[in-house]
Amino acid sequence: MSSITMNKLALAAIIIALITLPISLYSITQINKTTSDIQQQLNNMNQQLGNLDQLAQQVNTLADQINTINQQLENSPTADDLYQLADEISSIKASLTVLNQTLAKSNETTRQQIESLLEQIQTLQEKLQSLQSQVESLLYPTTVVDATGDEVIIPAKPERIVALAPSIVEILYYLNATDRLVGATSYTDWPPEVAQALQNGTITDVGGFFTPNIETILSLQPDLVIGLDNVPSHSQIKEILSARGIPMILLPQSTIYDVKTSILLTGKAIGDLAKASQVAADFESKILTLKLAAENVEPLRVGIIVWINPIFVAGNGTFQAAGIEQIGAVNAFANYTGWASISPEDLLSASPDVIILTGISVDSFLSYLNETLGPDYTSIPAIQEGRVYCIQYPLTNLLNRPSPRLADGLLLLQYIVYPELYNATSADIPNCITEFPPISFPTP
């Protein structure tokens, strides 16, 4: 008899025991109701058994993929091979982590198999690290296809890196590469040690996020510059640097999963795919657990506002909008594209149930609405229910930057919107949040 069949019989026995218990405890007049409950529970049992079969099949598929990767790592992989394998290892680890949490202890045999595969993934990542060290001289020159589709040749391992966005600095931090950072933009405020280095001049301030200074960048003699694909000035700087033989890559930042892509692209560019694979897998696993936790919640309308006077919101096609959907909610500004400017009347029409302000005080926001809309602003559901929240320093940018820290930002967002998932209520949440609450990523 197969382990899956035995699991089915065991689960059936448990459910039947649970069904017969109430019959012995309740009076005869309740039997009709109990019979209906039995049928419903049997239906649920059949669905659970089907899910177990599907999960077991998924585990077997992932096991086959792990074996294939192991063979590929034994066959003298190139830098491009390592990049592809790092991506695959990241995705498999994320899938296994979530499957492990989903099964919990409902299927001990399959859960043990998953834990064994997670150990194998750890071995693969260690092997990737070892290979990377052994063939470091073979990793360069390497070609990175960035978010624009350009093939950027990086001739040698970069030792002087300039980051043109705070989110890029954060990615480098997670990859343990900030010691190679020689330049960053003015608004870089995390991690604290980089912010301090910017203040004392150990790392050079190359100007604003939208207006980096090309002369300053050139004076640093970088061997790698990293920017973002949707910032026009970054594309212009890339043209200038390319003409001078200085490699520059542009990272994507439109969706949540662009964060994973950015981590892996940066890892390939700086010569540390093993670490990039670990960071990407951790990020993806956290994001998936948030999505699973929200499967049965009511889809509230959430609006993220990043500026007032004029009002700028996170519309469709932004990583924040994708994050709203990931936590089980609906973006109240989905009919706008990008970080859009809207009128106070548009906000009134959007009618969000929850409003998140990043770096804007609640009092300033309400005062602005009162001045522009008058008493009509109080009809917005979020304001009626007292569900307007500001995320302030040092947490201000958790939701504003497409880096691995975004996972923590979305955890905070899910806690604010659906506190019941964390054994809390909206009354437990202050309207101005400056400290991360004592919560951790959910297990389904």
pLDDT per residue as tens digits for the range 35-47: 344 344 434 433 4
Q: Is the model's pLDDT at 34 over the cut of 90?
A: no
Tell me how far apart the alpha carbons of residues 313 and 399 are, in angstroms, rounded to a whole number. Answer: 12
Tell me how far apart the alpha carbons of residues 382 and 377 are, in angstroms, rounded to a whole number. Answer: 10
Q: Which pLDDT does position 200 carry in this prediction?
A: 96
Q: Which pLDDT does position 68 carry in this prediction?
A: 77
The SS3 assignment for 295 reads coil
Q: Is the model's pLDDT at 9 over the cut of 50?
A: no
Q: Is residue 13 very low, low, confident or very high in pLDDT (cuts 50, 70, 90)? A: very low
Residue of 254, 370, 272, 260 whose CA lies nearest to 318: 254
**Alpha carbon of 203 to those of 184, 190, 236, 271, 297: distances in Å?**
7, 13, 23, 21, 46
Could you count the other beta carbons within 10 Å of the beta carbon of residue 39?
A: 11
Supply 119's token pair. Answer: 């150990």
What mean pLDDT comes out for the span 92-108? 68
Q: Is the model's pLDDT at 166 over the cut of 90?
A: yes
Q: Which pLDDT does position 85 carry in this prediction?
A: 79
Handedness of CA 242, 246, 247, 248 (dihedral sign): negative
Q: Is the model's pLDDT at 147 over the cut of 60?
A: yes
Q: Which pLDDT does position 44 carry in this prediction?
A: 42
Chain centre to alpha carbon of residue 26:
49
CB burial of residue 192 (10 Å; 0-12, 13-18, 19+): exposed
What mean pLDDT comes out for the span 146-155? 96
Answer with the residue of higher pLDDT: 255 or 228: 228
CB burial of residue 132 (10 Å; 0-12, 13-18, 19+): buried
Residue of 345, 390, 394 whose CA lies nearest to 364: 390
Average pLDDT, the chain: 83
Residue % of the chain over a pLDDT of 90: 60
The SS3 assignment for 90 reads helix
What are 317-328's pLDDT values in tens digits? 899 999 999 999
Q: Which pLDDT does position 412 carry in this prediction?
A: 97
Q: Is residue 108 very low, low, confident or very high in pLDDT (cuts 50, 70, 90)? A: low
Q: Is residue 101 very low, low, confident or very high in pLDDT (cuts 50, 70, 90)? A: low
Q: Is the model's pLDDT at 8 over the cut of 50?
A: no
Q: Is residue 97 very low, low, confident or very high in pLDDT (cuts 50, 70, 90)? A: confident
Q: Which residues of 87-99 are buried (b: 16+ CB within 10 A; e: fewer)?
A: bbbbbbbbbbbbb
Q: Which pLDDT does position 234 carry in this prediction?
A: 97
CB 390 within 8 Å of CB 362: yes
Question: Can you give the pTM of this predicted structure?
Answer: 0.80
* Residue tagged 């405020």 (tokens): 189
Q: Is residue 138 very low, low, confident or very high in pLDDT (cuts 50, 70, 90)? A: low
The SS3 assignment for 248 reads strand
Handedness of CA 96, 8, 297, 331 (dihedral sign): positive
Cβ neighbors of 78 (< 8 A, separation 6 or more) are 138
Q: Is residue 361 very low, low, confident or very high in pLDDT (cuts 50, 70, 90)? A: very high
The SS3 assignment for 187 reads coil
Q: Which pLDDT does position 159 carry in this prediction?
A: 97
- Highest mean pLDDT out of 139-143, 292-296, 387-391: 387-391
Cβ neighbors of 126 (< 8 A, separation 6 or more) are none
DSSP state of 400: T
Q: Which pLDDT does position 29 carry in this prediction?
A: 35
Question: At what angle are helices 31-73 and 3-25 packed, to 10 degrees?
Answer: 160
